[in-house]
Structure 1
Amino acid sequence: MLKNKFFLTGLFLLIAIVLYYTAFDGGSSSAVDGLEVSVNPETYRQQIDEKRTEKDQFLRTNTESPIPDKAGFKGLTYFLPDPAYRVVARLEPFADKTQKLVVSMSDGSEDVYEKFAHAVFSLNGEACRLLVVKLGSTYSILFRDGTSGKDTYGGGRYIELDPAQLSDNHAIIDFNTAYNPYCAYNPTYACPLPPAENKLSIAVKAGEKYITHE
């Protein structure tokens, strides 16, 4: 059984970098800890939509796509892009940099990730705290929320953090880029399951929704 840890890492990091350098309103942007936080809403939404179209094309045509019926694939479904779901989080790094997290996989196996930090932020008026894990050079959040098993995949979704949007004390978390693992579309893949602490009580109506694609 194939293992899907954080799939399309390079593709999504490229998307994040493109968004970072093209979506800002240069005349009015603000910064926190050296990170640009303000975006031009219209430009931002356009960029998100363009990258979603690119992802659909990848899933429809690439040999590494998990979609079994590529010819019948109509595209993924998403919540509308909303800049309100792009948040600045305060990072609480671990004093012990060697801490590990044993992550359960969807096939019953386990994998080990580095614990990087807890991200603390406010979303929809609620205080939130999520664990950020690190695998190689990839910083990710595996999470569930109030939409899991309803509008979104029950096994949880992932967000990858752009290193350019990370500092020692803060990170930009963009829930509009939240995506489903490969195992959501193809059971031959094994995917990491979110740790229990990464369950948000609020409904994160941003990012990728879920419908089956046979």
Structure 2
Amino acid sequence: MTTRTILLTLLGLGLLAFLYVTFFSESTSADASVDPVRYRQELLDKRTKKDEDFRSDSDSPVPDKATFNGLSYFAPDPAYRVTARLEPFADKTQKLVVRMSDGSEEVYEKFAHAVFRLNGETCRLLIVKVDDTYSILFRDLTSGQETYGGGRYLELDPKQLTDTQAILDFNTAYNPYCAYNPGYACPLPPAENKLPVAVKAGERYTHQPETARMPDSSRK
């Protein structure tokens, strides 16, 4: 093999490596880094839109829309947007029986465990799958204090989900509908999904204690 042939071969391999990184890296890695200013504004815009929907949408869980002044949130904080390592289940048919707040049950598909660092602690949460939606039902040290005692939900963006990694953005954590209206029943987080840290991100909860709430229909 001549020197010219070797150089052409190396150049070809380099080009293939460049194309792979350029076009396929998104499917093999998840990057939680964001521009703080743009990220904050995008979150605020989404929160404003949700308030508008809660105030006007016919599917809103708010009983008295006339007095609704908007949801309560923690300030946007990129530190609560983390990259998690996924531990998939070898048995893809595993199911999770989830207890509902009205005493009924639903069955979800177990997708994977997400392992990540948050506030200096190593955390592990179960991700469940319902149809094409990947979700985490969780509690943390703010539950029943600054956030809804029945737990909050976190939905994962499939575009930021790979076979080995996922982006968990706790700034998008939200309360179930039963936090605002006892006419809804909502899934309760599994016991293993209690975080050992306070997640001061996402929706807060400032309404009356949940002990007076006994949801009895539909899920949201």
Q: SS at the partner of 2:45?
A: helix
1:177 matches 2:175: no
Structure 1 counterpart of 2:98: 103
- The alignment's TM-score, normalised by the length of structure 1, stands at 0.84
Relative distance call for 1:164 and 1:32 in structure 2 (3 A) is closer
1:114 matches 2:88: no
- Alignment identity in percent? 72
Give 1 or 2: higher helix fraction. Answer: 2
Q: SS at the partner of 1:168?
A: coil
Written as runs of structure 1 = structure 2, the 5 A alignment for 1:94-173 is 94-173=89-168
Contact 1:31 1:37 in 2 (8 A): no
1:100-130, CA deviations, whole angstroms, 9 ceiling, x for partnerless residues?
A: 0000000000000000000000001100000
Equivalent-residue separation in structure 1 for 2:32 and 2:77 (angstroms): 14
Return the match for 1:202 from 181, 191, 197.
Answer: 197
Structure 2 counterpart of 1:63: 58
Larger radius of gyration: 2
Equivalent-residue separation in structure 2 for 1:91 and 1:34 (angstroms): 11
1:50-75, CA deviations, whole angstroms, 9 ceiling, x for partnerless residues?
A: 10000000000000000000010000
Give the CA deviation at 1:31.
7.1
1:134-175, CA deviations, whole angstroms, 9 ceiling, x for partnerless residues?
A: 000000000000000000000000000000010000000000
Equivalent-residue separation in structure 1 for 2:101 and 2:191 (angstroms): 14
1:212 matches 2:218: no
Q: SS at the partner of 1:35?
A: coil
1:39 matches 2:41: no
| Greater RCO (Cα-Cα under 8 Å, separation 6 or more) | 1
Cα root mean square deviation, aligned = 1.4
Give 1 or 2: higher strand fraction. Answer: 1
- Segments of 5+ residues of structure 2 without an aligned counterpart are 1-24, 209-220
1:13-55, CA deviations, whole angstroms, 9 ceiling, x for partnerless residues?
A: xxxxxxxxxxxxxxxxx97933333210010001000100000
Equivalent-residue separation in structure 2 for 1:36 and 1:93 (angstroms): 19
Equivalent-residue separation in structure 2 for 1:78 and 1:196 (angstroms): 25
Q: SS at the partner of 1:154?
A: coil
Aligned residues: 184
Written as runs of structure 1 = structure 2, the 5 A alignment for 1:68-83 is 68-83=63-78
